[in-house]
A and B are shown apart, each in its own frame.
Chain A
Amino acid sequence: MKAVILGATKGMGRALARQAAARGDSLFLLGRNLADLERSAADCSAHHPNNVEVGHAPCDLGDPDGFEAALDAAERALGEFDTVVVTAGLFGTQEELEADPGRLRDMLTVNFAHTVLFCEAARRRLMKREGGVLCVFSSVAGDRGRKPVVLYGASKAGLSAYLEGLDHRYRGQGLVTVCVKPGFVRTGMTEGLQPPPFAGEPAAVATRVLKAIDRRSPLVYAPGIWRWVMTVIRFLPRFVMRKVGF
């Protein structure tokens, strides 16, 4: 696999990049902070069986004008890449986002509008060749409107709908879309929150996502138990959802 990863410096993206490197995949990392990218590129290279160098370029989901240049850089380094992974995104608790409209606007714009714009840019490039895999991290928070994640969940609901539609529309033409819906995973993003039951670890999520990419599964919950948890939650009547706290 020749993969471009946006968000590889942190959390699940870091774990995924590392495992992909360890099995010998060629990688190109995109992210906001150049110094951080350099460190992650060195880390991936150390994990690679032949220590091949891993390239990187700046790319900020807050700045859509830079998307094409970032993908150009990836193409120069990898040649024709066949996989694009997006793990980047913004997060805030419901209370934080309600209290700060500026932060709310950034979160909604980055997690939905700009992520879709990045995916479209990636889609056009992948479809110029025989297709490939577009793997994007959404969230279980988008599966049902819920009290603690009204705003964050809304951004991820939109993203999940886009990814599902994309898979329906283009799979026949070779573009496979993998929508990842992580539950609570112990990363820097969720640090300080009370972990619920079934909290996952980034490395286990990464293993599961790599397998989903290999099998070309359109949808993967991680940890796997969330698939069943969310199935139940999706069918709960509204009067229950109004009463409960999750």
Chain B
Amino acid sequence: MVLRSASMDTPSVTPKALAKTEQALKTAENDEQSLIGGWGRVMVPGREVRDENLERLTADAVLCRGLGRSYGDSSLPPPGVPAVAGTTLADRVLSFDPESLVLRAEAGLSLRALLRVFFPKGYFVPVTPGTTFVTLGGMVASDVHGKNHHCAGTFGEHVRALKMRVADGRIVECSPEVHADLFWATIGGMGLTGHILEVEFTMVKIPSPWIYMESERVPNVDAYMSGLAQAAEAFPMTMGWIDVLSSGDKLGRGILMRGRWAEPGEAPEHFPEPKSRPGVPFVFPQFALNPLSVKLFNEAYYRKPLASGVIHPEPFFWPLDAIHDWNRIYGPRGFTQYQCVLPKSAGTDAARRFLELLSSLGGASFLCVIKDCGAEGRGLLSFPMDGISIALDIPVRDDTQALVDKLNEHVIADGGRIYLTKDNYTRPEHFAAMEPRLEAFMEVRKRWDPELRFRSAQSVRIFGDPVG
């Protein structure tokens, strides 16, 4: 069915007006004119082409894109390349063995769709990021981590095999045993080693679909950090939120949350019904987000009544999924997320020093999430390492590049690194300085893709890949 006209409701248009509409549509279909962006809504020229058959779709593709939840330019085409391959129509579960818990699916399957099927049956993914609007391919490419990182590691640790299209056109199966170099470069490899077609990983069985949670208000960042460390010993899932606008001895006050799956005896017997999702109907004007509104939000959030006990899993794992299109609140210029991990060697005051720098730079953020990470994963560019991860949303302003530069310099000095999935501003020399594994990654990448066919806007920006 084709209905190309956008003027359905005004049928009595003149031929002249019609010619105009047709012209507008032609330009809209023109590659030069259509725009594509990451979750931060910073747009570049390009579009997405989708197909149910990933083998066919990826034959000539430069980059795959799932649900476009990476914040910066990870899922965007390099300059001069008109389109990326959208995987979301390839969304079938191919096998699941209730004994071994091994599941195999097409790479475009979303976590949301996967959980709709398996969560009510008592199964869950071993690791979930903060949103269900991600594809399995995206979870591998970003090697996502979650609230249970200190126990379970990243998602990549639970992946058993990948089916991939590599640069010479072949379709290969790789795993920790077969083509192990390709496999570990692909875990967290931002889709730059080849197109991920199928993902095989191990699910987990859960005692109930409900969460037992405790939360606690903490007066400052030092109390927060020691609380986090204590919580990690007793609870498989920990995380917290910090008010970055408080200062003095209130610096880094926040709310600490720790949780575990509820046992059948303490949980309600029924399945937690999916919650409805109100949306943000339009892009907020830029002035909506100002130091005062952010301060008020932070104050109110800090004072909110604390939930403890058995709770619904959705607000626990994916609080922002509750609001459709929440990225629109950051206004027409969009936003970026700055996420870094600071190693244990940076000392116990690393978080405090980072926050002090942030407030001296005037960085205002709605959401600052601090979480401790466990050991580094085996993925060659996997983000987390033993230490603490700090994530904050930053609305794009004229000085955003300078702000990110200063934060990056601090992170380099502390021996930490940033998360490519969130990044839109890091300079190549900064990334090279924070990533000793980069050389090993590029070596494997060039072994499988000597001409660097697989690229993204981000790989051009950070790794200096060829354009066009």
Please give the residue numbers on chain A whose beta carbons come within 8 Å of chain B beta carbons, in ascending order. 9-11, 14, 22, 39-40, 42-43, 46-47, 49, 51, 93-94, 139-141, 148-149, 152, 182-185, 187-188, 190-194, 196-197, 229, 232-233, 236, 240, 243-246
Contact = CB atoms under 8 A, between A and B. Distances in A.
Given A10-B52, A22-B117, A244-B13, A43 B93 contact: yes
Contacts of A236: 11
Given A10-B52, A243-B15, A149 B2 contact: yes
B21 A49 contact: no
Interface in B1-19: 1-9, 11-15, 18
Among B6, B89, B92, the most chain A Cβ lie within 10 Å of the Cβ of B92
Contact of A11 (B2, B9, B52, B92): B52
Nearest to B94: A42
Nearest to A241: B11
Contacts of A246: 3-5, 7-8
The 6 A-B pairs with the shortest beta carbon distances in the complex, nearest first, are A43-B92, A46-B93, A196-B3, A246-B5, A188-B52, A245-B5
Given A46-B95, A148-B2, A245-B7, 8 more contacts: A141-B1, A148-B3, A183-B3, A191-B51, A193-B4, A229-B8, A243-B13, A244-B11
Given A10-B52, A39-B92, A190 B13 contact: no
Interface string B69-102: 0000000000000000000010011111010000
B92 A42 contact: yes
B11 A141 contact: no
Contact of A197 (B8, B15, B21, B29): B8
Given A149-B1, A196-B6, A197-B8, A191 B21 contact: no
Interface residues of B, number: 35
A182 B93 contact: no
Given A42-B93, A244-B13, A245-B4, A188 B50 contact: yes
Contact of A240 (B8, B12, B98): B12
Contacts of B12: 240
B353 interface: no
B2 A94 contact: yes
A93 B2 contact: yes
A47 B93 contact: yes
B2 A188 contact: no
A22 to B, nearest CB: 7
15 contacts: A47-B117, A139-B1, A140-B1, A149-B2, A182-B1, A188-B53, A188-B89, A190-B1, A196-B4, A196-B8, A243-B13, A243-B18, A244-B5, A246-B5, A246-B7
A10 B52 CA distance: 7
A194 B28 contact: yes
A187 B8 contact: no
A185 B2 CA distance: 10
A64 B417 CA distance: 62
A184 B53 CA distance: 21
Contacts of A47: 93, 117
B303 interface: no
Nearest to A189: B1
B402 interface: no
A152 B1 CA distance: 8
B22 interface: yes
Nearest to B3: A196
A192 B1 contact: no
A168 to B, nearest CB: 25
